[in-house]
Amino acid sequence: MKLGLVIDLDVCVGCHGCAVSCKQWNTSGTTGPLTDMNPYGPDPEGVWFNRIRSYEVGNYPENKTVNFPMSCMHCEDAACVDVCPTGASYKRKEDGIVLIDQEKCMGCNYCSWACPYGARELDRSSGTMKKCTLCVDRIYDDGLPESERLPSCVMTCPSNARHFGDFDDEESNVSQLVKERGGYQLMPELGYAPTNRYLPPRTREASPVAEKIEVSTGLLGKLSGWMAKQEKES
């Protein structure tokens, strides 16, 4: 079994719902409180397992804002596990989830430096590293209905951009999505074999509305030039 996430970049709206939901669940979950430092001051900071970057790609009128959520990739060959001097970072054989034993972690930052995805967060209140656990305490909770045994971020996503499943099962939802949409790993050239996959944005033609805006903008530019010329001649 190899559990992980598929994130559809075509429909992610960058609402940060996954990040907020993740923080709320994990604050009371296996990792303990996720602290905030100076939350209402000019320089707030805190521990977040999900972070969303936003990029503008393409040229107008075919440009698109791409929201890019990032968290732990649960790599098959996880460098964070290899460099940990205490054995606090480990990868579970039964499902491939990478976790941190809070009792063993000494907050040395080695794992954070080794992770190319910026997925590790040092909690200054506890002095230990914390990260996405794929909500391991939730997905195996027999007390929850089966439909709710999903990571909190997947349950919360309003646009259904996040999917969870077993990549070792060729018939699973995540495996099928990767196959159908060309799901890819982030920076596979590093050799860490991240489990999570991203579905690329679809290519679309410019909408008629965008074309009208472009034409209107051109006409306004010509009109402004003509008015400036008339004013100068008068």
For residue 228, pLDDT beyond 70: no
The C-alpha atoms of residue 126 and residue 147 are separated, in whole angstroms, by 33
CATH 3.30.70.20 is held by the domain 3-203:
yes
Whose tokens are 């472009």? That residue is: 214
CB-CB contact of 117 with 128 (8 Å): no
Show contacts of 22-25: CB within 8 Å, 24+ apart.
22/48, 22/49, 22/50, 22/71, 22/132, 22/151, 22/152, 22/153, 23/47, 23/48, 23/49, 23/50, 24/152, 25/135, 25/138, 25/152
Q: What is the pTM of this model?
A: 0.81
For residue 71, the model assigns a pLDDT of 95
The C-alpha atoms of residue 61 and residue 199 are separated, in whole angstroms, by 22
The C-alpha atoms of residue 81 and residue 135 are separated, in whole angstroms, by 19
For residue 175, the model assigns a pLDDT of 97
For residue 225, the model assigns a pLDDT of 57
The C-alpha atoms of residue 170 and residue 160 are separated, in whole angstroms, by 21
Residue 18: both structure tokens together: 């996954």
The C-alpha atoms of residue 93 and residue 100 are separated, in whole angstroms, by 14
The C-alpha atoms of residue 109 and residue 121 are separated, in whole angstroms, by 9
60 falls in which pLDDT band (50, 70, 90)? confident
Q: What backbone torsions phi and psi does residue 45 show, to the nearest 5 degrees? A: -150, 165
